[in-house]
Amino acid sequence: MARDIVRLGKVARESGAKGGLRRAPADIWLEVAVMRNIKDVIGVIMRVLDGAEISEDDVLDLEFDADGELLAALNEAYIKLLEFVHDRDRRLNDSQLDQRARATLQEVLGRIVHLSDAASE
């Protein structure tokens, strides 16, 4: 009996017949989880760039795992998001400070997207 397995938007056919068994690498599910977590970070940054305020819980709920430059960019985003939350009162009284904080997050977002694209190739 064959069953369909959905992976990353593609359907792979799995069967017990000789030569008919195709399996994804064991870490495919980890890769999916990592990309989902990166998308969560990007989503929070996008909310900020759209003018929203976020809570500390929004930031603390973020999880991510990566290597090298991508990990550094994600860590920087996490720190900048926490700073954004903690500087809320100051930013609300200083529009230039608010604009600079959001611009910094825009730059970090650009790096994350660039590095994520490079890592997925």
pLDDT along the chain (121 residues), means of 10: 35 41 56 82 97 97 89 96 98 98 98 88 70
Per-residue model confidence (pLDDT) at position 12: 37
Per-residue model confidence (pLDDT) at position 27: 65
The span from the CA of 99 to the CA of 27, in Å, is: 40
Q: What are the start-end ranges of the H helices in the chain?
A: 28-49, 56-60, 68-86, 88-93, 95-120
Reduced to 3 states, what is the DSSP secondary structure of residue 90? helix
- With a CB cutoff of 8 Å and minimum separation 6, the contacts of 49 are 102, 105, 106, 109
